[in-house]
Structure 1
Amino acid sequence: MSAQSPAEAAPAPLSTTKLFLTIFPSIMLPMFLAVADQTIVATALPAIAASLGNVEQISWVVISYLLATTIAAPVYGRLGDVFGRRRVMYVGLAIFMVASVLCALAPSIVLLSLARLLQGLGGGGLMTSSQALIGETIPPRERGRYQGYLAAVVVSSSTFGPVAGGYLTQHFGWQSVFLVNIPIGLLAAVLMLRLPRRRSSDEAWQFDAMGLALFVLFVAPTLLAIEFAQRFEAGFMPLVIALAVCAVGALILLIRQEKRVASPLLPISLLSKAAIWRSDALAACHGAALVSLITFLPLYLRVVRGATASESGFLLLPLTAGIGLGSLVTGRLVSKTGRTFVFPSFGLIVSLATIIGLALGAPYLTPPQISGLLGVNALFMGTVMGVVNVTVQSAAGPRMLGAAAGSVQFSRSVGASIGTAIVGAVLFLSLATTDSKAAALLGAMVERGPDILAQLDPERQKVVALEIAHAFRAAFLTVSLFTAGALVLAWVNPARRV
């Protein structure tokens, strides 16, 4: 791959309407594909396990994609800065589509997981390139609006994925959840032809192979350690410790490597800017809080409130809708006023109050009231990510837009993984310290539903139900700590306007 020639210069600026019609559809579909594939497989997992066997390995179908997208995000960002974002986006789309076919043809769980790993390497590039293209093609004051649009796409994709996955699996088989990417990907490729060609960097650049290797050795053990730690089995602890040591060692060597090479894959210099590292840290805290809520609220509604899967999904609709609406409104306000962190600085106060209210008041609230509280929480949670992306892209400058977009995507992914692991640990450990049998019962209820509780005598049922409710209170209070951290970072970020 070679850098684009100087002849591929930027065209004349487009009008606002033409800019929207040219840019947004072209980045919407690639982003939709990459995000939907994180969740579309979830409802197909039982059918995949029944078809391919090896049920104990089925989680790797999900983990491998998460692992690859986390690694790919900052790598594609830097490559886009050097070789041109449209070209790199086509490479990511091609990898994603080829891997989708390989997933559908996979005869075993192992080969399917490997194909998902390849698919994630393409999907991570689509996510980062879509974000960076907004910074590259949209004027700074208008970026907030487009980030709001893109956030709405992300939310709708995440919500659409499980629904589409269930329908496709039931009517066309599990292979269809991967093959559906082909026609959508071809349409995305056609729309991407509309993206303007941009002149790439003319800097002398040499691929940082050692930096990439160390980055993989940092990310992969980190995510694997988190995955094994969440299983709460003593037999896994030596492996978790070994993976953690490997990750820390690789991180130390990675920082040294990126500081000394002329063309670093992950420019550490960006993190010396307070506006960038505080925004990335905010993205990590936001991801930890929001993804933990999305992960554990269905469990709470199912186990503590006895809601069915469909009832839980309905009760969580305000949470997903609120994020999209909050992002759209915040984006428009940023574009209109030029102000940025004033919105999450006050919005996260409301989010923090609602999460604390959920933790302390959930036993006294009806399910519809909890749903409404979640909607309010999500509406103000939606003030964060658009502002973070706009701030980081503005602070990084045009030469480092991709690296900046990749740093946000990476921070949010790692924050979400660590956050869910911590909340899960708090949930089960707080229950295990008071009643180890109740902790084991909770694990069984997660797998087989709350009807198991009915097998206990009435007095024991009341005790266990109360203990589980108290454990969830501790879990929700942990989520509030992540939100409080995000609030502090929003208040101390020096970038207040674009």
Structure 2
Amino acid sequence: MVVFPSIMLPMFLAVVDQTIVATALPAIAASTGQIERAPWVVVAYLIAATVAAPLYGRLGDAFGRRKLMLVALGLFIVTSLLCAVSPTIETLALARVLQGLGGGGLMTLSQALVGEAVPPRERARYQGWLAAVAVTANSFGPVAGGFLTEHFGWQSIFLVNLPISVVAIVLALRLPVRKTEPVEWRSDPLGLMLFAVFVTTTLLSLEQVQRANVAALPFAAALFAAAMLSLVLLIAQERRTPSPLIPLGLLKQPAIWRSDAMAACHGAALVSLITFLPVFLGVVRGASPSTMGLVLVPLTIGIGTGSLITGRMVARTGYTTVFPSVGLALAAVNLVGLAIFAADMSIPALGGMMLWNGFCMGTVMGVVQVTVQSAAGPRRLGEAAASVQFSRSIGAGLGTAMVATVLFGYLAVRSPEAMEVFSAIVQHGRDAAVIPAARLAAVQGDIRDAFRVVFLAIAAFTLGGLALALTNPLRRI
């Protein structure tokens, strides 16, 4: 298929940049001195991609997906350079927002182009390959990030995007121009603004909560109230506008909203694991950035294998949700085991758990895309693909922020001393001149317990996805 090689690289680029900063976060925090805000570098990209996904979906349906792919690639190149030259964590987070606006388009348009070119039953096979590319990129990001950060500095994780993006543009220019029935386009600026307010106030309220400071609670409550108000207004706006940012009409179908919610749970679990496992390895195990990345290689292999096998099984049998039902159940068990044993396991054993977890998690995204596109119909492929990417990105962004709140909030409540040592390790490593051995030993148990809670929180996301898979009415296509 001519289309597939041309959309694989843009998808890979966009998804890699969701997680490539995971193993660079300690280095970024060390250079800026702001460990509590370091997760914003991940979350900012995810949220911007969330906002961009439905916008590109509708624009692609109206004006052509090939044109929009080229626009998104151009934006991605410029903003990658901005990320590399950012001097502070605030400017880096802002640059990541802009980069996410390009990345969200690459992800959505890649999914829609497959749906445009392939008949429904065959989509499962190609979506399996595309899901393998996406989730492999998701896991490959920390591996590449660890290597580049250790040898070339954290700025290199953004500069490497430039030559790859140029190749992606050359490939995108080879995409065939297809004549499709045009879809009327009207913008929804109020919906976009309300969604941005909802996400921003939600994240800010979580940041206040993670401080575990009584004085911060009134401000956190006010931010949460603003988030809920903006959500109510957003739903009202999307029901009223003729061209909504969020396709509520699609979400009325049980098969679609359950699949999208499953994508959100999957994104929350996978991206949180990829983000916080390297931090765990660095803080608790004293691992180098390269080792942090290498531990995630088995996760990459497992996800790719699980996605490919699931895609073939769906194409052969027509069954859909049975595969993520089994996969998410086994992933939840694996994550509980990680919470109990990870602090004392050998690195090879930990890699084995990541391989199995990746295989189980790889059963989800291809099935979600096929289910949603089959339920939506051919004229709304762009909206359908966008709804999945929208859900996955919002789940990944908010899920990562929630897990960060759990981690830092637990440490702040359990032991302020442990929080201080945690921050010192991230910024300086296990330097005995900075952190005496006796001080580290006194709080090591508290830090390990905090990560146990983190892994259990991630397991809870997979259980939520399992419940949605079991109740999805579209069980065969």
TM over 0.5: yes
1:496 maps onto 2:475 in alignment:
yes
Query: Does the 8 Å contact 2:77/2:165 carry over to 1?
Result: yes
Structure-2 change in CA distance of 1:165 and 1:365 (3 Å): closer
Query: Does the 8 Å contact 1:83/1:200 carry over to 2?
Result: no
Structure-2 change in CA distance of 1:303 and 1:113 (3 Å): closer
User: Which residue pairs with 1:329 in the alignment?
Assistant: 309
The one-letter amino acid of 2:132's match is: A
- Between the aligned residues of both structures, percent identity stands at 58
Kindly state the Cα deviation for residue 71 of structure 1 after the two structures are TM-superposed. 1.1
CA distance in 1, matches of 2:319, 2:451: 37
Kindly state the Cα deviation for residue 49 of structure 1 after the two structures are TM-superposed. 8.9
Query: Does the 8 Å contact 2:22/2:278 carry over to 1?
Result: no
Alignment of 1:360-371 (within 5 A): 360-362=340-342, 365-371=345-351
User: Which residue pairs with 2:454 in the alignment?
Assistant: 475
1:399 maps onto 2:375 in alignment:
no
Query: Does the 8 Å contact 1:83/1:201 carry over to 2?
Result: no
Query: Does the 8 Å contact 2:132/2:304 carry over to 1?
Result: yes
Alignment of 1:191-210 (within 5 A): 191-210=171-190
CA distance in 1, matches of 2:421, 2:152: 36
Match of 1:455 among 436, 440, 449: 436
Query: Does the 8 Å contact 1:282/1:490 carry over to 2?
Result: yes
State which drifts further: 132-141 or 192-201.
Answer: 192-201
**Secondary structure, counterpart of 1:31 in structure 2:** helix
Q: CA RMSD in A?
A: 3.3
User: Which residue pairs with 2:277 in the alignment?
Assistant: 297
CA distance in 1, matches of 2:466, 2:225: 31
Alignment of 1:37-76 (within 5 A): 37-40=17-20, 56=34, 62-76=42-56
Alignment of 1:4-403 (within 5 A): 19=1, 22-40=2-20, 56=34, 62-103=42-83, 113-161=93-141, 177-227=157-207, 229-230=209-210, 232=212, 237-362=217-342, 365-403=345-383
Query: Does the 8 Å contact 1:77/1:129 carry over to 2?
Result: yes
**Secondary structure, counterpart of 1:307 in structure 2:** coil
**TM-score (norm. length: structure 1):** 0.83
CA distance in 1, matches of 2:269, 2:22: 21
Query: Does the 8 Å contact 1:78/1:266 carry over to 2?
Result: no
Can you give the 5+ residue segments of structure 2 that lack an aligned partner in the other structure?
Answer: none
Query: Does the 8 Å contact 2:269/2:396 carry over to 1?
Result: yes
**Secondary structure, counterpart of 1:423 in structure 2:** helix
Structure-2 change in CA distance of 1:227 and 1:136 (3 Å): farther
**TM-score (norm. length: structure 2):** 0.87
Kindly state the Cα deviation for residue 54 of structure 1 after the two structures are TM-superposed. 6.2
Structure-2 change in CA distance of 1:32 and 1:101 (3 Å): same
The one-letter amino acid of 1:136's match is: E
User: Which residue pairs with 1:16 in the alignment?
Assistant: none
State which drifts further: 230-239 or 267-276.
Answer: 230-239
Larger gyration radius, structure 1 or structure 2: 1
User: Which residue pairs with 1:421 in the alignment?
Assistant: 401
User: Which residue pairs with 1:15 in the alignment?
Assistant: none
State which drifts further: 226-235 or 486-495.
Answer: 226-235
Kindly state the Cα deviation for residue 262 of structure 1 after the two structures are TM-superposed. 2.3
State which drifts further: 294-303 or 398-407.
Answer: 294-303
Query: Does the 8 Å contact 1:132/1:402 carry over to 2?
Result: yes
The one-letter amino acid of 1:467's match is: D
CA distance in 1, matches of 2:106, 2:216: 34
Structure-2 change in CA distance of 1:113 and 1:375 (3 Å): closer
Can you give the 5+ residue segments of structure 1 that lack an aligned partner in the other structure?
Answer: 1-18
Structure-2 change in CA distance of 1:98 and 1:388 (3 Å): same
User: Which residue pairs with 1:487 in the alignment?
Assistant: 466
Q: Which deviations, in whole Å up to 9, do the C-alpha atoms of 1:174-219 show, x marking residues without a partner?
A: 7665454444333222322332333344454422222222222223
State which drifts further: 289-298 or 374-383.
Answer: 289-298
User: Which residue pairs with 1:408 in the alignment?
Assistant: 388
Kindly state the Cα deviation for residue 410 of structure 1 after the two structures are TM-superposed. 1.9
Structure-2 change in CA distance of 1:482 and 1:105 (3 Å): closer
State which drifts further: 90-99 or 339-348.
Answer: 90-99
The one-letter amino acid of 1:486's match is: G
User: Which residue pairs with 1:437 in the alignment?
Assistant: 417
CA distance in 2, matches of 1:312, 1:170: 11
**Secondary structure, counterpart of 2:470 in structure 1:** helix
State which drifts further: 255-264 or 426-435.
Answer: 426-435
